[in-house]
Copies of this chain bind each other. A is one copy, B any other.
């Protein structure tokens, strides 16, 4: 029996000790408390000193746990007022993380695909909620397309597609999409940029998409968007295959 095997064997008998720090414990206790008390957004939570006494730990630890909860947007604190539960922002912190430099290629790929999927998937919502003004806005954006030269091309894409997302009237989705922009820019700058010649014959332009939005239906939209994004789909599928 090798040394490694011996260790593994020992492990199965002893089980490694998981070391929850005091802060970890306080954090979970707080979350439990909120759930048990059935607290809602706006409800006040105990003072720091009360928590210290109740849990028998220093204010340092309490504050560290509270800092975590503040960071994910679950609570807010005001001097003298104390702290209250808040409607958390699901996308909080995401903007700080979405810097391509620190994300792995795999995660970038994941996010890129999610965007592609969403762009196709919002068809039903878009057609259920589109209004005349949306078309007008999109047409106005179209007119500016030629003003975006070379390296600004991505900015146009962002504006155009962002405006489509807005039609879905889903604020979380809209913000999510806008946060993903740096990633697409990165992917784009990294060589995704496709020369005109490489575009497939039945390529769907932005202008065609607007037309479909104006006169089409979800099925036609999905078909158009699929062609519009085809190169991206092809690429991501090829890349992922290589990684296997």
Mark A residues whose CB is within 8 Å of B.
Answer: 31, 34-35, 38-41, 63-64, 67-68, 70-74, 85, 87-88, 90, 92-94, 96-99, 101-104, 106-107, 109-111, 113-114, 116-125, 128-129, 168-173, 176, 218-219, 222-223, 226, 233, 236-237, 240
9 A-B pairs with least C-beta separation = A121-B121, A117-B121, A110-B172, A71-B71, A72-B93, A120-B121, A88-B97, A128-B237, A68-B71
What number of copies of this chain does the assembly contain? 2
Q: Would A104 and B87 count as touching, CB distance under 8 A?
A: yes
How far apart sit A64 and B65, CA to CA, in the bound complex (Å)? 10
Question: Would A40 and B102 be within 8 Å (CB), given that A71-B72, A119-B121, A129-B240 are in contact?
Answer: yes
How far apart sit A57 and B41, CA to CA, in the bound complex (Å)? 33
Q: Quick one: closest B residue to A124, CB to CB?
A: B233
With most chain B CB atoms within 10 A of its CB, the pick from A40, A71, A98, A111 is: A71
Contacting residue for A120 out of B98, B123, B223, CB 8 A? B123
How far apart sit A168 and B219, CA to CA, in the bound complex (Å)? 21
A232 to chain B, nearest CB (A): 10
Provide the residues of chain B in CB contact with A170, threshold 8 Å: 109-110, 113-114
Provide the residues of chain B in CB contact with A85, threshold 8 Å: 102
How far apart sit A39 and B79, CA to CA, in the bound complex (Å)? 36
14 contacts between A and B (CB under 8 A): A34-B102, A40-B101, A74-B97, A90-B103, A90-B111, A109-B170, A110-B170, A111-B172, A114-B170, A117-B121, A117-B125, A120-B124, A124-B226, A125-B236
How far apart sit A99 and B64, CA to CA, in the bound complex (Å)? 22
Contacting residue for A104 out of B31, B41, B63, B121, CB 8 A? B41
